[in-house]
Chain A
Amino acid sequence: MSDTEKPNAKNVIEVRGLVTHYGTRQILNGVDVDINEGEIMVIMGGSGSGKSTFLRHLMALQRPTSGVIKILGQDVWKLPQKKLFELRKKLGVTFQGGALFSSMTVGENIMLPLYEHTKLDRLTMQIMARMKLEVVDLAGFEDLMPSELSGGMVKRAAEARAVIMDPRILFFDEPSAGLDPVVSSQLDDLILRLRDAMGMTICVVTHELESAFKIADRITVLDKGSILFTGTVEELRNHPSDRIQNLLNRRSEEAEIDADEYLRRLTGDKEEAEGMPR
């Protein structure tokens, strides 16, 4: 059991040398990250830098080319299937578009994990769902279909679903994408509240600086598939590197485009983009 029990109580997620490809294109080139218990880790980076891909690895949705991913002390790709299912019950996710099941009502969406994983009676499940909806300010919307909600409401309902099983670790992909500033700020508050109220470890992917600075305990900056920086908000602000300062000040990076890359784009030498292995 020594291998499967958490060897380091503080270390909830441990990633070592993560390399991944889509087809022949390398997306992540050896990423190392540690996420500690109870912290909010924000993963930043430009569009297409591999943030979502990285997050999929952290949730054990995608098998890496090489590298080790340990969640709660367990090497996820060495676990037998049954253990992996058990592990996944301790994770909650809000995907970029919410990913609510469009054929179910909001209430049914939120109750689905309870229905599948517990033997609670329906009334208890309904009460639990209502409590979580209360947390995200959506009480009373149980009977609506996802298509009847606004973008911000979909995200919040998805959050309620993500926390219904009281997960140890919560993941967010672009919580503020496509939302107006007020709503996205409310979502940030919600994320902070979830950590404080439930003591969860939270990992947020975003490209919004403002939001990142507001919620992060630590920030990891991904760039072209490698880690540019890991540290606290203060450390990031005061970092001497030009590249990071450019990123912070939103300075255009067009001058930095790699000559090879540019040429390849012009000549249209596209590699086959293969579907990801299931």
Chain B
Amino acid sequence: MVEGSHQNLAARFFEKVGRICVSALEEMGRHGVMIGESFHWLFLGPGMNQPVRLGAVFTEMMEIGVRAIGIIGIMAAAIGAMLAIQGIYSLKIFGAEGHVVVGVAFSMVREFAPLITGILVAGRSGSALSARLGTMKINQELDALEVMGINPVRFLVVPSLLASLVMVPVLTFMSMVLGLYAAALYVNTALGMSMAAFFDQTIDVLSVDDLIHGLSKAAIFGVLFALIGVLNGFLVKGGAEGVGKATTRSVVQCISAIVVTDMLFALVATL
């Protein structure tokens, strides 16, 4: 009897693990299909009289990028200052405060700028994308588009994807600059190092590779969050409640995806 229930438990456990694996694979498959479809419309759409509208891309860039400048700028500056404060505090132990620039420059450009930008954009626009597409789905607006002969992927998804592919790296670059600037200000007051000296040292220690590392990560984050936002929106079922669930799911998935990708990227890049 006891044996039986144990077996039962094990079976159920493995069944559950199996289910989760299958649904995760399915989800990845859907992302793959969505990327494929997006490329299809981007390149073959014009031939079918279904071009991707530049106007729509710019609108999305405005929404994803320009409107986020304020908050991302503030966060990046705060993180830059925090890195400087923390750096000086710990380097003081070895009497090596002067080397703070190295630590700040590397961590800001390679890690923190893409990460904080990615997370903020995901929270702002990933959820908005899911909510918007989900609402359109339950209001049958997606069907209406389809019947009008307007492909929803071409009309709604590709512009968001392109906009975030461009805007997340741009915002990340802005974060790098602002973060370093805030750090320089703090170092200037704390150690009396001039701003010029700070930036000279920064440029000395950083290579183009570091910059590319940070920006390409940002581009990947951009694609990831657009895909996750869009897919959760498209898969909404069951009314307003479904939209709410999709939005939450989308933010959680975006941030997890960004953090995990970041870790993998760091692992591969430092091998």
| A56 to B50 CA separation, bound complex (whole angstroms) | 22
Given contacts A275-B237, A278-B234, contact A97 B149 (CB under 8 A): no
Q: Give B55 Cβ to nearest chain A Cβ, in Å.
A: 10
1/0 per position for A38-70, CB-CB distance to B under 8 A?
A: 000000000000000000100101000000000
What residues of chain A lie closer than 8 Å to B23, measured between beta carbons?
none
Indicate whether B11 reaches chain A with its CB closer than 8 angstroms.
no
Q: Give B234 Cβ to nearest chain A Cβ, in Å.
A: 7
| A86 to B48 CA separation, bound complex (whole angstroms) | 9
Counted as pairs of residues, one from A and one from B, with CB atoms less than 8 Å apart, the total is 56
Which of A28-36, A110-118, A246-254, A262-270 faces chain B? A110-118
Given contacts A85-B48, A275-B237, A278-B234, contact A95 B143 (CB under 8 A): yes
Which of B84-92, B134-142, B222-230 faces chain A? B134-142
Indicate whether B20 reaches chain A with its CB closer than 8 angstroms.
no
Given contacts A81-B48, A85-B49, contact A97 B139 (CB under 8 A): yes
Selected contact of B140 from candidates A88, A91, A95, A113, CB within 8 Å = A95
| A221 to B151 CA separation, bound complex (whole angstroms) | 32
Given contacts A85-B49, A95-B140, contact A61 B147 (CB under 8 A): yes
- Range for the number of chain A residues in contact with chain B: 20 to 34
What residues of chain A lie closer than 8 Å to B140, measured between beta carbons?
95-97, 99
Contact call B143/A99, Cβ cutoff below 8 A: yes
Contact call A117/B149, Cβ cutoff below 8 A: yes
Indicate whether A89 reaches chain B with its CB closer than 8 angstroms.
yes
Indicate whether A101 reaches chain B with its CB closer than 8 angstroms.
yes
Determine the residue in chain A with the shortest Cβ distance to B151.
Answer: A85
Selected contact of A99 from candidates B50, B144, B149, B234, CB within 8 Å = B144
Indicate whether B235 reaches chain A with its CB closer than 8 angstroms.
yes
Chain A CB within 10 Å, residue with most, of B140, B141, B148, B234: B148
Selected contact of A93 from candidates B136, B147, B151, B235, CB within 8 Å = B147
Within 8 A of A (CB), among B220-271: 234-235, 237
Given contacts A82-B48, A117-B49, A275-B235, contact A88 B139 (CB under 8 A): no
